[in-house]
């Protein structure tokens, strides 16, 4: 194991803690051998410390070729256990903790040609700064999501009997950027579009970026895109009113994936509200893959059956790879979770309460900072001077 000797002045307390954790994992691995490793299976990625030869067995199964060459079998397009359902508190917390651990291992265990982060973005991942609600911080995501879910559940419980509550999603092809793009997406674009299309409704929503890793529907050689979109918990209108609005949106807008609607909704039961509040606040833990559906067509001359692609696409998700997760940190760098939240009409008061509770620890921390204390002293001096007294 190679240890890089860096000047102590540039090593933060968080870096020292992470290096100590990595050293402890290496010590346990060396002491217990390969049996102590718990490495999630992935057909195309193998950790450096994975045994190169399989253990002896009476009739070993053939192993796929692993390396820089892609395997002959396709990647699994199903979610790993614990990541498929994000509408319960236990699964939501476990999924984000797992994604955070994989991202941390990728950044600190070292890989050749791995993705690097600048110091400011890297500092946003520190659990100790979760109280400031950085959008890249998984601990902050789980805390904010719980506050969001609890407040929305209370709102649904206080609505008049029979008032429907809906989960709505809006996505627009115009809000798609390449992962390589240096332009920073302005989330006010997608929020403004959402407000315009759902004008007159009450809702609380979140901005999210869906990561597509194999899109071939856009011009250019790049296949990796971020599609910025919104999720909302909406209440007030009847289902017929909302359905008419959604139908109009789908007539006028398209998505980045052919055959997929730009807007859709689902009516929620009271017990589903908390879970959907969690879901729309989730962090960057999944990626999406799209490919055209195929139909079988028989050649009338030869009788040969061909599978031809259609214009409709299938979309499925799988856990986000650590390297791609680090790439997405750049897209969310400098953003806070409360800045990604938005609301309209009656939802604004609800969002204010959510942010007030979620940012309470941050406001307590900020009040203790020297610049804040100096500002308070200046204000006190001005008040005292206006009152005719002597400043303290």
- Residue spans of the domains in the chain: they are 89-363
Per-residue pLDDT averaged across 142-157, rounded?
A: 97
Choice between 63 and 219, residue whose per-residue pLDDT is larger = 219
- What pLDDT score does 87 carry? 93
- What pLDDT score does 298 carry? 84
DSSP state of 261: -
- What pLDDT score does 133 carry? 97
Q: Which residues pair with residue 202 across a beta bridge?
A: 235
Place of tokens 């509770």: 357
| Residue 341 near residue 351 (C-beta atoms within 8 A) | yes
Choice between 158 and 376, residue whose per-residue pLDDT is larger = 158
| Strand extents, DSSP E, 255-339 | 263-268, 286-298, 305-319
Share of the chain above pLDDT 90, in %: 57
> What's the pTM value of the predicted model, to 2 decimals?
0.74
For residue range 335-354, what is the model confidence (pLDDT) as tens digits? 999 999 999 999 999 999 99
What 3 state SS string does 222-285 have? CCCEEEEEEEEEEECCCHHHHHHHHHHHHHHCCCCCCCCCCEEEEEECHHHHHHHHHHCCCCCC
Choice between 143 and 49, residue whose per-residue pLDDT is larger = 143
Q: Is the pLDDT of residue 4 over 70?
A: no
For residue range 58-95, what is the model confidence (pLDDT) as tens digits? 444 444 433 333 333 333 323 333 334 799 999 999 99
Choice between 189 and 292, residue whose per-residue pLDDT is larger = 189
- Alpha-carbon gap, residue 330 to 182, rounded angstroms: 10
- What pLDDT score does 361 carry? 96
| Residue 167 near residue 235 (C-beta atoms within 8 A) | no
Q: Is the pLDDT of residue 238 over 60?
A: yes
When pLDDT is cut at 50, 70 and 90, the band that residue 119 belongs to is very high
Q: Which residues contact 178 (CB under 8 A, 6 or more apart)?
A: 220, 222, 224, 225, 226
- What pLDDT score does 248 carry? 97
For residue range 245-264, what is the model confidence (pLDDT) as tens digits? 999 999 999 998 888 899 99
Place of tokens 């052919």: 258
Q: Which residues contact 373 (CB under 8 A, 6 or more apart)?
A: none
Q: Is the pLDDT of residue 390 over 60?
A: no
Choice between 211 and 291, residue whose per-residue pLDDT is larger = 211
To the nearest whole number, what is the mean pLDDT of the chain?
81
When pLDDT is cut at 50, 70 and 90, the band that residue 375 belongs to is confident
Give the range with max mean pLDDT: 246-255, 360-369, 379-388: 246-255
- What pLDDT score does 313 carry? 84
Give the range with max mean pLDDT: 49-63, 66-80, 139-153, 376-390: 139-153
When pLDDT is cut at 50, 70 and 90, the band that residue 292 belongs to is confident
Q: Is the pLDDT of residue 33 over 80?
A: no
């Amino acid at each position: 194991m190679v240890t890089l000797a860096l000047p102590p002045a540039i090593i933060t307390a968080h870096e020292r803690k992470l290096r100590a954790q990595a050293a402890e994992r290496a010590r346990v691995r060396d002491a217990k051998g390969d049996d102590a490793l718990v490495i999630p299976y992935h057909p195309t990625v193998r950790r450096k410390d994975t045994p190169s030869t399989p253990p002896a067995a009476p009739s070993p199964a053939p192993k796929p070729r692993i390396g820089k060459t892609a395997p002959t079998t396709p990647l699994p397009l199903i979610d790993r256990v614990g990541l498929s359902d994000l509408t319960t508190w236990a699964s939501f917390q476990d999924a984000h903790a797992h994604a955070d651990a994989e991202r941390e291992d990728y950044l600190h265990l070292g890989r050749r040609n791995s993705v690097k982060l600048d110091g400011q973005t890297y500092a946003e991942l520190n659990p100790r700064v979760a109280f400031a609600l950085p959008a890249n911080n998984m601990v902050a995501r789980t805390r904010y999501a719980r506050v969001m879910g609890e407040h929305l559940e209370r709102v649904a419980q206080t609505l008049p009997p029979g008032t429907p509550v809906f989960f709505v999603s809006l996505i627009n092809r115009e809000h798609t950027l390449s992962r390589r793009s240096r332009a920073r997406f302005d989330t006010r674009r997608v929020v403004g579009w959402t407000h315009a299309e759902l004008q007159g409704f009450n809702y609380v929503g979140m901005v999210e970026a869906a990561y597509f890793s194999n899109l071939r529907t856009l011009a250019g050689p790049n296949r990796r895109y971020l599609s910025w979109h919104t999720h909302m918990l909406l209440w007030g209108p009847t289902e017929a009113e909302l359905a008419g609005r959604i139908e109009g949106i789908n007539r006028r807008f398209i998505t980045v994936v052919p055959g997929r609607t730009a807007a859709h909704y689902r009516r929620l039961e009271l017990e589903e509200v908390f879970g959907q509040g969690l879901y729309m606040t989730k962090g960057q833990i999944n990626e999406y893959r799209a490919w055209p559906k195929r139909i079988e067509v028989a050649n009338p001359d030869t009788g040969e059956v061909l599978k031809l692609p259609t214009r409709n696409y299938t979309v499925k998700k799988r856990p986000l790879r650590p390297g791609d997760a680090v790439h997405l940190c750049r897209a969310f760098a400098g953003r806070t979770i409360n800045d990604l939240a938005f609301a309209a009409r009656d939802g604004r008061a609800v969002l204010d309460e959510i942010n007030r509770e979620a940012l309470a620890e941050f406001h307590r921390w900020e009040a203790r900072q020297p610049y804040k204390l100096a500002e308070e002293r200046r204000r006190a001096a001005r008040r005292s001077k206006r009152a005719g007294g002597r400043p303290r």
